[in-house]
Amino acid sequence: MSALLEVNGVSVSFDGFKAINNLSFSIGEPEMRAVIGPNGAGKTTFMDIITGKTRPDEGEVLWGEENRSLLRMSEAQIAQAGVGRKFQRPTVFEDQSVRDNLMVALKKDRTPWAALTYRGSDADSARIEELATEIGLLDHLSTTAGILSHGQKQWLEIGMLLAQEPRLLLVDEPAAGMSTEEREHTTDILVNAAKTKAVVVVEHDMDFVRRLNCRVTVLHEGSVLAEGSLDHVMANQEVIDVYLGR
Partner 1 sequence: MRAMKTVPYFLAVLFAVVLGVTILSQAYGTGGISVSFTKVLGMTLCLCLAALAMDLVWGYCGILSLGHFAFFGLGGYMVGMWLMTARTEAVVRANMANNVIPPTEAEISQGTALQIFSVVGAEDWPWMWAVSDSLFLSLLLVVLIPGLLALVFGWLAFRSRVTGVYLSILTQAMTLALSLYLFQNDTGLRGNNGLSGLQNIPGVSAGQSYLSIWFFWASALALALGYVGSAWVVSGKFGNVVRGIRDDEQRVRFLGYSVEGYKLFVFVLSAVICGIAGALFYPQAGIINPDEIAPIASIYLAVWVAIGGRGRLYGAVIGAALVSLLSTYFTGGRAPDVNLGIFTIQWIDWWPVLLGLGFVLITLFAPNGIAGLFDKLVRK
Question: By CB under 8 A, what part of segment 150-209 binds partner 1?
Answer: 160, 164
HSE (side-chain half, CA atoms, 13 Å) at 75: 7
Q: Quick one: 48 or 223, whose CB is closer to partner 1?
A: 48
Question: By CB under 8 A, what part of segment 3-32 binds partner 1?
Answer: none
Give the x/- contact pattern for partner 1 in 114-143, rule: CB under 8 A: -xx-x-------------------------
Q: Quick one: 46 or 218, whose CB is closer to partner 1?
A: 46
Distance in Å, CB of 210 to partner 1, minimum: 29
| Packed helices 122-134 and 150-163: angle between N→C axes, nearest 10 degrees | 140
Tell whether residue 49 is a contact of partner 1 (CB under 8 A).
Answer: no
DSSP output for 116-156: HT----HHHHHHHHHHHHHTT-GGGTTSBGGGS-HHHHHHH
**Number of neighbouring beta carbons within 10 Å of residue 130:** 13
Residue 135: phi, psi to the nearest 5? -95, 5
Distance in Å, CB of 12 to partner 1, minimum: 19
Task: State the Cα–Cα distance between residues 46 and 37, nearest whole angstrom.
Answer: 12
Distance in Å, CB of 76 to partner 1, minimum: 5
User: Which window, 58-66, 108-116, 209-217, 226-234, contacts partner 1 (CB under 8 A)?
Assistant: 108-116
Task: State the Cα–Cα distance between residues 45 and 54, nearest whole angstrom.
Answer: 7
Region label for 42, one of left (φ > 0), alpha (ψ between -120 and 50) or beta (otherwise): left
Task: State the Cα–Cα distance between residues 216 and 227, nearest whole angstrom.
Answer: 6
Residue type, 131: L
Task: State the Cα–Cα distance between residues 230 and 21, nearest whole angstrom.
Answer: 23
Which of 104, 138, 191, 206 is the binder for partner 1 (CB under 8 A)? 104
Tell whether residue 51 is a contact of partner 1 (CB under 8 A).
Answer: yes
Distance in Å, CB of 83 to partner 1, minimum: 8
Distance in Å, CB of 96 to partner 1, minimum: 6
Q: Quick one: 47 or 224, whose CB is closer to partner 1?
A: 47
User: Which window, 31-39, 58-66, 113-121, 231-239, contacts partner 1 (CB under 8 A)?
Assistant: 113-121
3 state SS of 54: coil
Which of 105, 156, 189, 239 is the binder for partner 1 (CB under 8 A)? 105
Question: By CB under 8 A, what part of segment 77-96 binds partner 1?
Answer: 77, 79-80, 84-85, 87, 91-96
| Packed helices 150-163 and 98-105: angle between N→C axes, nearest 10 degrees | 30
Where on the chain is the footprint of partner 1 (CB under 8 A)?
51, 74-77, 79-80, 84-85, 87, 91-96, 100, 103-105, 110-112, 115-116, 118, 160, 164
